[in-house]
A and B are shown apart, each in its own frame.
Chain A
Amino acid sequence: MLCCKDPRQAGGYLKGCRLAAKSQLRITGGRVYDPANGIDGEVRDVCLADGKIVAEVDGGRTLDATGMVVFPGGVDVHTHVAGAALNFARAMIPEDHRGNAPFVRSPGRRSGIGGATPTTYVTGYLYAGLGYTTVNEAAVPILSARHTHEELRDTPIVDKSCCVLMANHEILLDLIEKGEIERARHVAAWNIWAAKAYGVKAVNPGGVAAWKWGKDAKGLFETVPGYTTLTPAKIIQALAGIVDGLGLPHALHLHCNNLGAPGNVGTTLETMKVLEGNRAHLAHLQYHAYGGDDWYTMRSESARLAAAFKANKNLTCDAGVVLFGNTVTITADGPWQHLLYKLTGKKWGNIDVENETGCGIVPYVYKEKNLVNAVQWATGLELLLLIDDPWRIFLTTDHPNGAPFWRYPEIVQLLMDAEFRREQLKKLPAKAQGRIVLPDLTRQYTLYEIAIITSAGPARALGLPDKGHLGVGADADVAIFNAGTDYARMFAYPRYVLKAGEVVIEEGEIRNAHEGKGLLVRPAYDASVEEFIRPLFQQHYTVAFDNYPVELERIEHPEVLPCSSSP
């Protein structure tokens, strides 16, 4: 519950935290990158007042950003930082906690641990420390959404949104199978508000439901085990249509079937066809871009996938880059994790959530000398380099699956510095060269493009009009970097980070750890749908219906964004 201590207030750990102060600030002399407003490295002032970007200020402080680079605050479109699955993972890896430098308590900073599954306070500090100010928690089960929101309350500084899991939600699946899409839409809308969510997440549609019997759903057009006519394709189509019909600001957020399997690019291409006519955001696309028939022939099919993706303009995606090193894989793709456990003999955690979803957890190390890992590493970067519209592909690692989020600066370096990339390629096993196309790609990202894939693009895809840009009316979330050519270092150590108009990070020190906002939507639904849900719920769940919805009071500084009446 406690998340900040204002150093200016004595004994303040337990004092109620207030939102940002209403001060005025002018950032002057920096090279501004604001792609949403077409500003590409122009030296100009950015003015902040009352937590917003304004055209001008009269008085107040001045922050001299001469020689520095000014970006809108980062927006992470897909990460796993709070809730039951991540907390389960924390329990599984005490050795990872011990193996990473701890966060020692100090005035203004709570203690905690970092590594692959940072504790909640540290998550806020680490994100802010990278210049990120908004994060989208990508997988929330409705039944434990209360837990997710409790953890998010203890995650300081950043603003948060949540995507709630629906593609294995049994009440919805039954309705979709029966063709009752209209009613399914009302049920979905009710559930979104019950969970206090922002968007809809679909993970391995049908596959997690099948896992509850120990099976999977790999074929998009094959009947899901346990059902008679329902297929993953039908679930995807129904949910994408429902999300668009409800006018949610963010498209259906989809983790495709067949994650991680050699040859799965076929499933991804089929999925794109199924999605025609609807918006969708494809999560961690790297894990869905493989060719080959088995682990020995697995290769990257990023070129084929990139071409199809570019043609389907209704889609956005995030990269899901893999980096070499220790991490932990956490995904609602239960069958995949069981497979990983059998293949590697590593620790395995699994929890199935009644009627809704499940998750599997396996601590993992990506190694350069492992041929499969080498292909994975290359594939993520290939997608980012081949898909040349940065407004449609965003920088993520599916934290913590591909790598912990605090390693994003390494990816920026790999994208901006082709020479550095070539050096890293040399470390891969010789056999990998025939499986990947990365050696042929010479593109280098510009700062403007980096600002898009880390901020402006995700904000637009999430449908957040006040995020990801520095135009008048935007939230005053700003990241200011020392210009340099060591891009990993530059982006790992911003000089200043401002959130809601206040300096929160200055030269690596936390200056102010205030609370962030919870971004929500409240789509319209017919109130009578509760009479439909209630008896089914009481029959199949083990929680009283009245205890199911998350109380609005639990959301820290809620902000409800509007749904459009016609998307």
Chain B
Amino acid sequence: MLVLTLKERPHVPLEAEVLTPDRLAGLSHAEVRALPILRGKRQLRLDDVFEVEGDGGEEVELRGDLGRVKLIGRGMTRGRVVIRGNAGMHLGAHMAGGTIEVEGNTSDWVGAEMRGGLIRISGDAGGQVGAAYRGSPTGMSGGAILIGGTAGLEIGMRMRRGVIAVRGRVRDFAGLQMKGGTIVLGSGAELRTGAWMTRGTIVSLGPLRLMPTFAYACAYNPVFVGLYAKYLEPLGVALPSAATQGSYQRYTGDTAVPGKGELLLWRPAG
């Protein structure tokens, strides 16, 4: 397996879109070392900034505080990227397949406009998880992004399909202009969840501040939540669904659009 260890935390961000299994597979050790990395406006060799062990392959492990290393896994379609540390912006953006695992925290734009595959982050993520880039009509359209810690603003902005699950609290605008797919909020969110959504489902196990343009519909235990729970459990996300445990309050909106999205707020029994 290929192991790249960051020599030192860069003083300005690095752009490392070469760090995908697609690009690395089949490369020799020397070829990996010669790959281009951008530091600001200067081009470096990969081995200027990383210690390199092994040859290129379908799996790569990155070690160190890569919080300033951007574009890792961008557009990847296969293979596995493991980061033992933090990761920078645009991790797994436009990804279509494969797996990314991060032991630390990530910056903004994780899985932006993602089409497939799995991203799992143990720590905190930044904002715009699975979101559309500015001006684009659509964000994430497939795949799954699982976050063990907190996340920032505008997660799932304009997403169309796929699932984002965050165990910790998220900030404002989760599910902004959502068009489809599912967001699971393990600890609720700050303001403006589901603002301007047209379709899609936001499941929240923690408190939300509702927009004035959402209306209470009913309390129930939707069947699909049970199915989702089975899908998410092996991925480490516990989603309550049994009527004995409680029920979900359903709110529909956003009437400002007008939209047919739903918020499901968990109410434990008793």
A binding-site residues for B, Cβ under 8 Å: 92-96, 98
Contact = CB atoms under 8 A, between A and B. Distances in A.
B234 interface: no
Contacts of B135: 92-96, 98
Contacts of A92: 135
What band does the interface of chain B fall in when counting residues whose beta carbon is under 8 Å from A?
under 10
B159 to A, nearest CB: 16
Contacts of A98: 133, 135-136
Interface in B119-155: 133-137
Contacts of A95: 133-137
Nearest to A346: B137
A221 B134 CA distance: 45
11 contacts: A92-B135, A94-B133, A94-B135, A95-B133, A95-B134, A95-B135, A95-B136, A95-B137, A96-B135, A98-B135, A98-B136
A415 B134 CA distance: 38
Classify the secondary structure of A's interface with B: helix
Interface string B44-59: 0000000000000000
A555 to B, nearest CB: 34
Those 9 A-B pairs whose CB atoms lie nearest each other, nearest first: A94-B135, A95-B135, A95-B136, A94-B134, A93-B135, A95-B133, A98-B133, A95-B137, A92-B135
B179 to A, nearest CB: 12
Contacts of A93: 135
A242 to B, nearest CB: 42
Contacts of B133: 94-95, 98
A300 to B, nearest CB: 30
A198 B134 CA distance: 38
A96 B135 CA distance: 8
B157 to A, nearest CB: 13
A95 B133 CA distance: 8
Nearest to A97: B135
Contacts of B137: 95
Nearest to B257: A345
A326 to B, nearest CB: 11
A237 to B, nearest CB: 43
Classify the secondary structure of B's interface with A: loop
A95 B134 CA distance: 7
Contacts of A94: 133-135
Candidate in B134, B135, B136, B137 with the most chain A CB atoms within 10 angstroms: B135
Nearest to B132: A95
A98 B135 CA distance: 10
A96 B133 CA distance: 11
B176 to A, nearest CB: 16
Nearest to A99: B136
A98 B136 CA distance: 10
A304 to B, nearest CB: 38
A92 B136 CA distance: 10
Interface string B194-235: 000000000000000000000000000000000000000000
B112 to A, nearest CB: 12
A461 B126 CA distance: 58
A492 B136 CA distance: 29
A94 B136 CA distance: 8
A11 B137 CA distance: 42
A119 to B, nearest CB: 16
B256 to A, nearest CB: 14
Nearest to A93: B135
A396 B133 CA distance: 33
Nearest to A91: B135
Contacts of B134: 94-95
Contacts of A96: 135
A303 B215 CA distance: 55
Nearest to A92: B135
Nearest to B137: A95
Nearest to A94: B135
B139 to A, nearest CB: 12
Given A93-B135, A95-B135, 12 more contacts: A92-B135, A94-B133, A94-B134, A94-B135, A95-B133, A95-B134, A95-B136, A95-B137, A96-B135, A98-B133, A98-B135, A98-B136
A93 B137 CA distance: 10
A208 B84 CA distance: 61
A94 B137 CA distance: 11
A544 to B, nearest CB: 37
A96 B134 CA distance: 11
A98 B113 CA distance: 13
A95 B138 CA distance: 11
A94 B132 CA distance: 12
A95 B135 CA distance: 5
Contacts of B136: 95, 98
Nearest to B136: A95
A111 B136 CA distance: 23
A344 to B, nearest CB: 12
A133 B101 CA distance: 54
A325 to B, nearest CB: 16
B47 to A, nearest CB: 25
A92 B137 CA distance: 12
Nearest to B138: A95
A218 to B, nearest CB: 31
Nearest to B134: A94
A341 to B, nearest CB: 14
B88 to A, nearest CB: 19
A91 to B, nearest CB: 9
A342 B136 CA distance: 19
Nearest to A96: B135
B196 to A, nearest CB: 13
A94 B133 CA distance: 9
A93 B135 CA distance: 6
A105 to B, nearest CB: 11
A494 B48 CA distance: 43
A363 to B, nearest CB: 9
A92 B133 CA distance: 13
A434 to B, nearest CB: 33
A430 to B, nearest CB: 29
Nearest to A98: B133
A93 B134 CA distance: 9
B100 to A, nearest CB: 22
B226 to A, nearest CB: 35
Nearest to A347: B135
A95 B131 CA distance: 13
A99 to B, nearest CB: 9
A102 to B, nearest CB: 15
A65 to B, nearest CB: 40
A96 B136 CA distance: 8
A534 B244 CA distance: 81
